Structure 1
Amino acid sequence: MAYHRHAVCVVIAAKNAEATIRRAIESALREECVAEIVVVDDGSSDATATISGDADDGSGRVQVIELDRNRGPSFARNQAIARSKAPLVAILDADDFFLAGRFKTMLDGDDWDLVADNIVFIDERSTNPAAPDVPVFEAAPRFLDLAGFIEGNISRRGASRGEIGFLKPVIRREFLVRHGLRYDESLRLGEDYDLYVRCLAKGARYKIVHGCGYGAVVRADSLSGKHRTEDLKQLYEADLAILASQRLPANAQAALRRHAEHLRGRYELRRFLDRKADIGLFGAGLKALANPGIMPAVAGGIAADKFEALRRRFGWQAEQPLPRYLLPASTIAQK
């Protein structure tokens, strides 16, 4: 089945995004299969809501929901999904955009519940970040299973931002409704990862095509790059909750435990550094010694951070230049 018109709801959670929200909305409006765009202004203190309403092209497809206080991306997205009706849901971050024609072939077929395409990461300082010169890649469709998805979200030191969890799949609304799934509103970090894990645990077919249709703008002040120590703890606890509540295949259980331990290590390191800032190195060290189980995570994390700082200082490993792509892909030979 190919979707052409009135099929997609684009959900944009936005906070203080007046500089980028128009570009995001306009990129969605130019796609003919987009039936509605729901922008949730998540307690902004700028003109995000006004600019969003003004960006409508006269088709009436843009709806703006204003929250009186910041509730986080999970709450905002749940509000948008609940207010919309189109059969497919596409998430778009407020500082990103769709490449023209994103949905034309991406949505073909009935063999998926979630389908994602490649992402191009673009420097915000580019002359025209919204018009990248993107090659035509072979689609090379493949499916992600639960274990593979989880493993693809375990960060590696020195690796560029680009875990599988950053993909922006289109999701069938019917699947979410049938299984009673929505974003976990307690999470302000990893909320997409958590939802996709729970979808896959319910048997979702997650299809990936390698053609590129999503532009992610890399900004030094991006909200996605900032999180609290408590956010790490809540995401770790979300992993534990899935392990406790779902019957998962053995390989998925093992992968989820590794992911949970990875998060726990990051949390314990951050908590140690918070304590160091509050009560000094000696006091933080004493508290860490009182719980020997956290020492490997703390010591290992500090050592890895020191090495990363040296690596960057001396250029031992060059950063991948922008633009770059999340998924490795082969270009189609042009005739």
Structure 2
Amino acid sequence: MPPVASVVIPAHDAAAFLGEALAACLAQTLPEIEVIVVDDGSRDRTWDILTAAAAGDRRIRPLRRAAAGGPGAARNAGLDLAEGRWVALLDADDLFLPDRLQRLVGQAERLQADLVADNPERRDFASGRRLGSLLPAAATSAGPLSLLALVQGDMPDQPADSKLGYLKPVFRRSFLEQHRLRYAEDIRVGEDFLFLFECLARGGRCHLLPEPGYVYRVREGSLSQGNAGALQLSRANRRLPGLLPPGAEPALRALLRRRQRLIDFDCFAFEIAGGHPGAALRHLHWGGPAHALRQFRLAAGAARRRLAGRG
């Protein structure tokens, strides 16, 4: 009999924490699961740890990729193998609380949803200290999440630790298969948001629930990729308007344009700071005199810092 849920874990050089992620999956109160772990070209002992764990529990299904293809490629390989009615994604350095899958699958089926997400709980990776929920209470509700609300909840000028792009929903596998939905393999930052956006654009009914269940373990630099990550975010965001359904509301299109301007300002700053003014020009937007002045001051400041470094 097929499992009720498939958990897909992409793992690259994850030997230091993969065992904890596996233990959290195998401790789920929903027993009818499979755990598909994709070793994405690891150079450490990830594969040895994975195969040893699989020998002790038949629910673990290991898959090895010879070369690292990134999180999107690893997740897609896992999705292609999944047999569960529901699919959950888990990053190898994160955890599930014990009742997460049973609770979310039950809620999803009761609500007739295509995807359901809970409110991730943040914990310090080193100490395990709880840092609070990822989302404010106002961001969670039992009603379906709209595309407009999704974008409003993941704008670049929001605090990095309260964005909807960090959600880890549980997906109805038949919905993913019906719409041939897979992760973008050429995007390494923001691929989760791009995938979630496409799910909603294809008509997916997504519910956000206030209870915690996904444990997001915060390591240094894990919540923000800095301006370098903005280059990937810019590429991902440029794909969003092409995914919009016919008749998408003008407010949503306008918000996506604003999101692009904000992301591209970070790209501009990154390229200027790196001494690449030509590349920076590709990210310029005319946003009025104040915006132009801000970009000019940024460029001038970066130039002064480079000249001072040569002195």
Same fold by TM (over 0.5)?
yes
Which residue matches 1:255?
255
Q: Which residue of 2 aligns with 1:242?
A: 243
Contact 1:17–1:94, Cα closer than 8 Å, also in 2: yes
Q: Separation in 2 of the partners of 1:302 and 1:161?
A: 28
Instruction: Report what 1:123 is aligned to.
Output: 124
- State the Cα RMSD in Å: 3.2
Structure 1 pair 57/288, CA: closer, same or farther in 2 (3 Å)?
closer
Classify the secondary structure of the residue corresponding to 1:197: helix
CA offset at residue 271 of structure 1? 2.0
1:118 Cα offset (Å): 1.1
CA, structure 1 residues 228+301, in 2 after alignment: closer, same or farther (shift >3 Å)?
farther
Task: Give the match for residue 306 of structure 2.
Answer: none
Question: Which structure is higher in RCO with an 8 Å CA cutoff and minimum separation 6?
Answer: 1
Alignment partner, residue 312 of structure 1: none
Q: How does 1:150-165 map to 2 (within 5 A)?
A: 150-156=151-157, 159-165=159-165
- In structure 2, C-alpha distance between the alignment counterparts of 1:36 and 1:215, rounded to whole Å: 19
In 2 relative to 1, CA 291–194 (structure 1 residues): closer, same or farther, beyond 3 Å? closer
User: SS where residue 162 of structure 2 aligns?
Assistant: coil
SS at match of 1:210: coil
Q: What residue number does 2:150 align with?
A: 149
| Structure 2 unmatched runs, 5+ | 302-311
1:33 and 1:103 in contact (8 A); partners too: no
Residue equivalent to 1:82: 80
Give the structure 1 partner of residue 23 of structure 2: 26
> What is the CA–CA distance in structure 1 between the aligned matches of 2:174 and 2:210, rounded to whole Å?
25
Tell whether the 8 Å contact from 2:157 to 2:262 is kept in structure 1 after alignment.
no
**Aligned pairs (5 A) from 1:105-120:** 105-108=103-106, 109-120=110-121
Match of 1:325 in 2: none
State the shift of 1:219 in Å: 0.5
Structure 1's 223 and 262: CA in aligned 2 closer, same or farther, altered over 3 A?
closer
**What is the aligned partner in structure 1 of residue 49 from structure 2?**
51
| Count of matched residue pairs | 285
Amino acid at match of 2:6: C
Alpha carbons 2:10, 2:74 under 8 Å: kept: yes
Q: Is the contact between residue 122 and residue 131 of structure 2 (CA under 8 Å) also seen in structure 1?
A: no
Distance, in Å, in 2 between the alignment partners of 1:92 and 1:188 is 16
Q: Deviations over 1:280-316 (max 9, x none)?
A: xxxx4x886899647937936987xx9xxxxxxxxxx
Residues 121-270 of structure 1: pairs in structure 2 closer than 5 A: 121-126=122-127, 128=128, 141-156=142-157, 159-220=159-220, 222=222, 225=225, 227-228=228-229, 230-242=231-243, 247-270=247-270
Question: Which residue of structure 2 lines up, in the alignment, with residue 6 of structure 1?
Answer: 3
Q: Percent identity?
A: 30
Change beyond 3 A, Cα 1:250–1:21 = same
Which letter maps to 1:249? E
- Structure 1 stretch displaced more, 113-122 or 224-233: 224-233
Gaps of 5+ in 1: 277-283, 307-335
Structure 2 residue 275 is the aligned partner of structure 1 residue 275: yes
Secondary structure at 1:207's aligned position in 2?
strand
Distance 1:252 1:132, change over 3 A: closer
Identify the residue that residue 294 of structure 2 maps to in structure 1.
299
Residue aligning to 1:310: none
Residue 118 of structure 1 aligns to a residue whose secondary structure is coil
CA drift at 1:49: 1.6
Structure 1 pair 46/302, CA: closer, same or farther in 2 (3 Å)? farther
- The CA deviation at 1:190 is 0.8
Q: Secondary structure at the match of 1:147?
A: helix
1:103 counterpart letter in structure 2: L
Q: In terms of mean alpha carbon deviation, does 260-269 or 112-121 score higher?
A: 260-269
C-alpha deviation, 1:169, in angstroms: 0.4
1:250-276 deviations in whole A, cap 9, x for unaligned?
333233222222222222222222226
CA distance in structure 2 between the aligned counterparts of 1:133 and 1:57, rounded to whole angstroms? 36
